[in-house]
């Protein structure tokens, strides 16, 4: 079975990370900062927006993949995947615009955590149910 739904959200995640990468590169040129942020606050925020996406997306996409492999209903896979990607995009925009708390950043983090916790709960439930029936 080809995990096509996960592949779709993985492709979207790669596009998001590449856009964030391009944003960092463009600001590095403007700030003349080859390494680090050179004290440039805008560059520092863009670096963190990129890093934050790279920190959360791999584990969340792995969760989505395992859910797809254990044959969770496609609708739920799309709900989890869309919530995750929307959360990461909102967080990146919010963090890039302002270093402080803001509605986009906070909303993005809430959506990301909601998706990841929900996927973890479903994975735990499915695992426990499998163990109980395997005994």
- Which tens digits make up the pLDDT trace of 64-109? 999 999 999 999 999 999 999 999 999 999 998 887 789 999 999 9
Across the range 119-134, mean pLDDT stands at 95
Where residue 134 falls among pLDDT bands split at 50, 70, 90? confident
The CATH number of 4-130 is 1.20.120.550
Give the helix ranges, DSSP H, for the chain: 4-31, 41-69, 74-97, 103-134
**What does R_g of the chain's alpha carbons equal in angstroms?**
17
The pLDDT mean for the chain works out to 95
pLDDT reading at 1 higher than 90? no
**So what's the pLDDT on residue 59?**
99
């Amino acid at each position: 079975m080809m995990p096509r739904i996960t592949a779709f959200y993985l492709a979207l995640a790669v596009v998001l990370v590449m856009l964030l990468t391009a944003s960092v590169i463009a600001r590095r040129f403007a700030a003349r900062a080859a390494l680090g942020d050179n004290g440039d606050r805008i560059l520092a925020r863009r670096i963190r927006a990129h890093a934050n996406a790279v920190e959360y997306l791999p584990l969340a996409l792995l969760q989505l993949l395992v859910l797809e492999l254990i044959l969770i209903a496609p609708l739920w896979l799309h709900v989890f995947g869309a919530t995750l990607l929307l959360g990461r995009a909102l967080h990146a925009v919010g963090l890039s615009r302002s270093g402080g708390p803001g509605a986009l950043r906070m909303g993005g983090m809430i959506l990301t955590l909601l998706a990841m916790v929900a996927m973890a709960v479903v994975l735990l439930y499915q695992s426990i149910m499998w163990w109980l029936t395997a005994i």
